[in-house]
Structure 1
Amino acid sequence: MRKQSGGEAFRITGARQGLSADVRGRQRRYVISMAVRTVAVVLTAVLWNIERPVAIAMLVLGIALPYIAVVIANAGRENAPSLPSTFVAPPTRPMLNAGHTEPVPEPRGTDASDARSDRS
């Protein structure tokens, strides 16, 4: 067995995901948001003469969503704030107090009946 030095230990859960996984995730978010935009534009055309306020809301969503999707997709690689810290603190050993003594328990087998029999 190998003895460990007193150095710091690394947590693997604190590591960022790989670059390919990060790019794949950003591409997926962008494709999903563009699919939502496509649905919004189609709904704008379908609902224009039926439900004009809903059609206008879909039109605004269809216009604003590409900008929002690009900003989200290009946000880059950042550490998630919920991840634990990278280093694990070494465990501390409790110190013994020199002046503290525990009370000595009474020996077993002594009870009130034994004390009465000694007096008689």
Structure 2
Amino acid sequence: MRKQREAEVFRITGARQGLADDVRGRQRRYVISMLIRTLSVLLTVVLWNVQRPLAIVTLVVGALLPYVAVVIANAGRENAPSAPSSFIEPPVRPAIGPADTVPEPRHSRPDGPVADHS
């Protein structure tokens, strides 16, 4: 009978995304933020003589968005909220029952044969 090794079993479902995918996602978020900033600056120019309060709001958004976009883009890799353990315990094999449940034959004992004195 071969002796089975207790191998470690690793779960990969909690793995983070690859570094290239992470960088691509950050770049995409930054570009979208800069597009929104460009639109807000253009709206500021268009609305300046038409509706000045709204133009001031778009100017503030256009001024603050680069800072927010850089902070969001450099926030780092995502954290798994509750990453599962990477180690799974091997299944427990049922043990053989206690030795006293098996009846011991009368004629053989560890200290020698039983003498019948009848």
TM-score, normalised to structure 2, is 0.65
**Matched length:** 94
Indicate the residue corresponding to 2:11 in structure 1.
11
For structure 1, which runs of at least 5 residues remain unmatched after alignment? 95-120
Report the CA distance shift for 1:5/1:36 in structure 2 as closer, same or farther (over 3 A).
Answer: farther
- Report the AA paired with residue 26 of structure 2: R
Aligned residue in 2 for 1:67: 67
Give the 5 Å matches for 1:1-120: 5-81=5-81, 83-90=83-90
Instruction: Please report how far the alpha carbon of residue 11 of structure 1 lies from its aligned counterpart in structure 2 after TM superposition.
Output: 2.0
So what's the TM-score if we normalise by structure 1? 0.64
Classify the secondary structure of the residue corresponding to 1:12.
Answer: coil
> How far apart in 2 are the matches of 1:16 and 1:25?
13
**Partner Cα separation in structure 1 for residue 79 and residue 31 of structure 2:** 23
Shift of 1:53: 1.3
Please, what is the CA RMSD of the aligned residues?
Answer: 2.6
* CA-to-aligned-CA distance 1:65-94 (integer Å, 9 cap, x gap): 000000111111232315444334555689
Q: What's the CA shift string for 1:2-41, capped at 9, x where partnerless?
A: x975455322121111111111010000000000000000
Aligned identity (percent) is 72
Hey, which of these two has a bigger chunk of helix by percent? 1
Unaligned runs of 5+ in 2: 95-118
CA displacement at 1:64 relative to structure 2:
0.4
